[in-house]
Structure 1
């Protein structure tokens, strides 16, 4: 089996493991940034085989320059999306933030009453 046969190349910025919805960035983030072993990664992502995890790491090692750029682009995209979500939270997030503020206000009020 050729190494590339382990993956679906959906777009230049979307490479997934065959028969799954898991992108190579997910596996490689665990490997590169969290220093997890292939066995640990396979235990976390139980829908993947240990062979698939090793294939992903081997693909990275064989294509280090292009895959490193792929990961860097993915990390940058994630950073931009988090910033955008903070600037413009969805209505559901705004509601949760409001509920949290109300709850904290009630806790502060209760603390004043019990100490007052």
Structure 2
């Protein structure tokens, strides 16, 4: 089996473990940025085998420059997406944020009322 046989190269910016919806960025983020061991990663992502985790890390080590670029692009996209969601949340999220703010305001009013009674 070739190392590349472990992956589905769907697009230049989308490499997944064959037979899963897990992208290599998921494993490599845990490995590189969170310093998790392959065993820890396999425990977290139970749909993956330890062999798949090691294959992903080996693929990274064999193609470090290209995969590092892939990860940099993914991180930039992730940050932009999160910022866009923060600025323009979906209606249901906006409603939850509003409800949370109302609940916190009500809690402060109740606390103030309690302190005024004491």
TM category, shorter: over 0.9
Whole-angstrom CA distance in 2 between matches of 1:50 and 1:109: 53
Deviation at 1:100, TM superposition (A): 0.5
Q: Which residue of 1 aligns with 2:89?
A: 89
1:104-115 mapped onto 2 (5 Å cutoff): 104-115=104-115
Show CA shifts across 1:50-84 (max 9, x none): 10000000000000000000000000000000111
- Superposed, 1:58-69 pairs within 5 Å as 58-69=58-69
Q: Deviation at 1:86?
A: 1.3
1:41 aligns with 2:41: yes
For residues 84-111 of structure 1, give each alpha carbon's deviation from its aligned partner in whole angstroms, at most 9, with x where no partner exists. Answer: 1111111011101110011001100100
SS of residue matched to 2:47: coil
2-structure distance, mates of 1:78, 1:72? 10
In the other structure, the counterpart of 2:53 is 53
Name the Cα RMSD after superposition: 0.5
- Please list every run of at least 4 consecutive aligned residues from structure 1 whose deviation after the TM superposition is greater than 4 angstroms: none
- The gaps in structure 2 that reach 5 residues or longer are none
Question: Across the two proteins, how many residue pairs are aligned to each other?
Answer: 116
Q: TM-score, normalised by structure 1?
A: 0.99
Counterpart CA distance in 2 for 1:55 and 1:82 is 29
